[in-house]
Every structure is written in structure tokens, then in C-alpha cells.
Amino acid sequence: MSDGPESLRGKKYPAKKHAQKVLSHLKSKNSSKADNANFFISGEDLVLYKYCDQTRPFRQNRYFYYLSGCNIPGAHVLYKSKQDQLTLYLPNVDKEDIMWSGLPMSKEEASEKYDADEIKYEADIEADLKAVEGIIYTTDINDFNTKFANALTEKDETFFYALDEARAIKDEYEIELMKHAAKITDNCHLAVMSALPIETKETHIHAEFAYHALRQGSKNQAYDPICCSGETCSTLHWVKNDGDITSDKRSVLIDAGAEWECYASDITRCFPVNGDWTKEHLDIYNLVLKMQKEAYKLMKPGANWEDLHLRAHRVLIEGFLELGIFKKEFSVDEIFEAKGSAGFFPHGLGHMLGMDTHDTAGNANYSDPDPLLRYLRIRRKLEPNMVVTNEPGCYFSPFLLEETLNDPVRSKFINKEVLDKYWYIGGVRIEDDVVITEDGYEEYSKITKDPQEISKIVKAGLAKGKEGFHVVV
């Protein structure tokens, strides 16, 4: 099992620097609000299922984690800007609970582990908040902080802006956590590709991925794995994962990412069921790969993400003209202006990545009337140390294409006889995790996307058969 990145051994998650960073963004947005501003956020706690003594799965509040680095249920954090002081409050010690759960972390242990000026217990919060000078911002009043509600100011838009903008630019520590999550995910994708003899259902792919993630120390997935085969690959967030993987389906798509210390990875790979790409599947796979490569050519600080996304649409149109899916008597510009590619590539090129899979400050505009931009999750210029995904896709979904095929303006571009050859693929998506550097980008997800290498991996697994299969990671 992995213990985490070697580069972070002996270092603390930089919670106090994060609080200072939030304050800086608050000042840049509204200097008067930042004067004597303070931040208090309660983490999540264990919550029982209704009518049951079993707790729901625990997932830490991401804003709380950003200011604390603490994944303990029932903890709280206070940052006093005037004193530049960060205080972490541990839950009160419940002696009865020790019998069931063991000894809790002590204040001394917490002081060694967390980047806080003070470690206290929840019992100290009420008096401490009363003594604070100035306004105390919190995200919202909820079940975990309602007893302190009179001291708190919730849902301030400027505070949310400051939190989100701070999270948008990652520091070295965060990037190392994300690279480690991606390394685990790379191994899981390799394991899935290698294990076709025992993966006869989409559920098996899900299980294979989660098993190898857990073996490497990642107990949580960043999101529900998307495990598709054949025509279900045309559903963007297929999480039923309940179909049979049969030879007639021919294509598999897995979009899954392990989590490490509350930080996400998000990687998508496609492969042929029997290791042999069909002509149509390989046509589309290579086209999507070209869409990704062309987007990379524009990726650098100062680049507008919309330009990368729209370039990917033009590459798709160029590819469809070459394949004959779009009729050759029309030009790329004609089809692009008519939004003819929207039904085949309905989502955005990618999204911000961090503690959340679709992380903060992307500035999406889901009410945009332009179908090429409506679902684009990044609507801003790139900056160094942003982490994004580059994930073009191409889909053949009767549902997604119904409007296009019934629209005389857009349907005239399509050669339906050629299109009919591609329905069985469902869809192809290739997704990688990328950090923006000072002069370009670094793609840090490493599992191969070369179609020939993928074919060799799948065939090597099939050659072993069920009896010869062994754990890959």
C-alpha cells in the first residue's frame, strides 16, 4: 500500500498559507470587507442513516479541508486575520466512544500533523468566537455549526469568490497530492485493460478499478466510476455499470479516478473488447486523440479555454469530412457556423480539477444559448498552476443526435449511410490530467493512450486466460 508522495514526507498541508491566500483574494475583490475579516468553517461529521445506527459514508467539506488539511469528522477551523492565527478545533473526547473506535488524536499529535498555530477542542469554540474582533465569515449555517450561528455571517458572495479563486491556483503540495492520485489511477486503468478474461460485465470493470485503488491506499473514488461497453459509451455519465461485456459490443470506455487525501484524479481510456480495433472504432479513437493533441498546442498561460474547445470542434469537423460522415461539398466553416458538431461533441473540452472533480472557479455558463459552449466548464484564461482536464469526445447517441438529425439546417451536412456504420461504437473519450506551467503545460497522467500499445496490453491479458491472470499492481 502507498504511503503517499515521497516529496511530501515530513511536510504539512499548507493550511495557513491557504487562509492567507483567501484573505488576499478577499482584499482584491473588496478591500473594506477584508479589513479585520475572519473565517470559521465546520467540517462534516458522522451522520446516522435515518432509523439506523449506521453512519453514512464520510466525505469531508472541501472548503474546511482547504483551510485545515484535516479529515477528522466533527472538527472546526478558525482563522483570525488581524492576528494571522489559525486554530484547529478537534471534537470533544467522548470516553464511551473510545471503546468502539479507539483513542482519538491528541492535541499534541494534531500539532505535529497539522499546520495550525493552536489546537483546541470544540468546547472552546463558543468563547473564542465571542472574543473575535470583526466579522466572522462562514460558507453556510448547517447542522454542524448552528450552535455558533449568532457569531457567524453566512453565504457572503465575496467570501465564496475568495475561497474559489484561492482553490483555482494550486500550490506545490496540492499538485503533488494530485499527481499521486493520478499515479494510482494509471495503475488501475492498466489493471482493467489487462484483466479482460475476468471482466465479462461492466460491474467487473468497476470492481477491478476500485480493488486496485484500495490496494494502493486510496479508499475513496473521486466520483462514481463510469464503466461502459458498446452503445452505453454514448451516455456521458453512465454509472449503472450493469451491462454485459460481449464480443459483439467491441468497445469499452472507463472514466474513473482515485482520490488521495481529498484530492481528485480524473482519467478516461477506451479499448477494444478483444484487443483488435475495428476500422470505425479506430477511426474515431484517432480523431479524438487528434482533437486532444491540437488542444495541447494552444495550452499555455493566457490562453482562453474557449479557443481550445472550439479548436477541438473544428478538428472533429475536419475528421468527419475525411471519413465521409459529413458531406464533402460543405466546408469546415459552414458546418462550424451551423453548430453541426454540437450533437457529436456535446460536453466541454475539460474542467478544473482539485479537491472536487469539477473544481471551483471555472466560471461555467450553462444558460449560454450557443450549443457549442453551453456545457463548457471553463470560461476563463489559463494561469500557471491551474490543474485542468483535457477530455475531448465523440459520441453516436440517438438521443443526443435526434435534434440534429431532425433539423434540416444541420442534417443536410450528414451522410446518414456512413453515419450508420458508427452507431455501435457508442462513444470515445480520452481524458488526461494537466497542470499549467509558466510557459506551457505538463500532462501528468501517464497510462498509455497509444492505440497499438493499448491493443498489446489487452491481448496480453486475454492470452493469459482466466487461469493465468494475476494482480497487476
Indicate whether 472 pLDDT > 70: no
Q: CB within 8 A of 367, min separation 6: which ones?
A: 374
Residue 404 pLDDT grade (very low, low, confident, very high; cuts 50, 70, 90)? very high
Specify if 29 maps to a domain.
yes
Distances 253 to 237, 318, 403, 425 between C-alpha atoms, Å:
11, 24, 25, 10
User: Rounded CA gap, 315 and 390, in Å?
Assistant: 15
Indicate whether 258 pLDDT > 60: yes
Please state, for a pLDDT cut of 70, what percent of the chain lies above it.
98
Q: Is 268 exposed, middle or buried (0-12, 13-18, 19+ CB in 10 A)?
A: buried
Q: Which three cell numbers stand for residue 406?
A: 431532425
254/381 same-domain check: yes
Specify if 147 maps to a domain.
yes
Specify if 319 maps to a domain.
yes
Kindly report the pTM of this predicted structure. Answer: 0.96
User: Rounded CA gap, 324 and 344, in Å?
Assistant: 15
The pLDDT value given to residue 89: 98
150/178 same-domain check: no
Which of 168, 193, 217 lies at the terminal end of a domain, its last residue? Answer: 168
Residue 1 pLDDT grade (very low, low, confident, very high; cuts 50, 70, 90)? low
324/391 same-domain check: yes
**Sequential DSSP letters for 322-362:** HHTSB-TTS-HHHHHHTTTTTTTS-S-S--B-SSSSS-S--
Q: Map grid coordinates 445506527 to a residue.
A: 53
Average pLDDT over residues 431-460: 98
Specify if 473 maps to a domain.
no
Residue 473 pLDDT grade (very low, low, confident, very high; cuts 50, 70, 90)? very low
- Give the mean pLDDT of the chain: 96
Q: CB within 8 A of 171, min separation 6: which ones?
A: 14, 17, 18, 385
> DSSP 3-state helix, strand, coil percentages of the chain (rounded to 5)?
40, 15, 40
Indicate whether 469 pLDDT > 70: no
Average pLDDT over residues 90-96: 92
Specify if 313 maps to a domain.
yes
**What are the two backbone dihedrals, phi and then psi, of residue 85, each rounded to the nearest 5 degrees?**
-125, 130
Q: Which three cell numbers stand for residue 284?
A: 474515431
pLDDT digits (tens, 9 = 90+) for 133-148: 999 999 999 999 999 9
The pLDDT value given to residue 98: 87
Indicate whether 373 pLDDT > 60: yes
Which of 142, 168, 194 lies at the terminal end of a domain, its last residue? Answer: 168
* 8 A C-beta contact, residue 118 and residue 16: no
Average pLDDT over residues 15-37: 95
User: Rounded CA gap, 177 and 411, in Å?
Assistant: 46
User: Rounded CA gap, 318 and 88, in Å?
Assistant: 55
How many structural domains are present in the chain? 2
Average pLDDT over residues 6-31: 97
Average pLDDT over residues 403-427: 97
User: Rounded CA gap, 222 and 177, in Å?
Assistant: 13
pLDDT digits (tens, 9 = 90+) for 274-326: 999 999 999 999 999 999 999 999 999 999 999 999 999 999 999 999 999 99
Domain, as residue range, for 381? 172-468
The CATH number of the domain holding residue 444 is 3.90.230.10
The pLDDT value given to residue 465: 80
User: Rounded CA gap, 445 and 436, in Å?
Assistant: 13
Specify if 1 maps to a domain.
no
Residue 111 pLDDT grade (very low, low, confident, very high; cuts 50, 70, 90)? very high
The pLDDT value given to residue 100: 86
415/355 same-domain check: yes
* 8 A C-beta contact, residue 396 and residue 422: yes
Paired residues of 427 in beta bridges: 395
325/337 same-domain check: yes
327/428 same-domain check: yes
Indicate whether 263 pLDDT > 90: yes
Specify if 270 maps to a domain.
yes
* 8 A C-beta contact, residue 134 and residue 38: yes
Give the range among 3-7, 262-266, 348-352, 462-466 with minimum mean pLDDT: 462-466
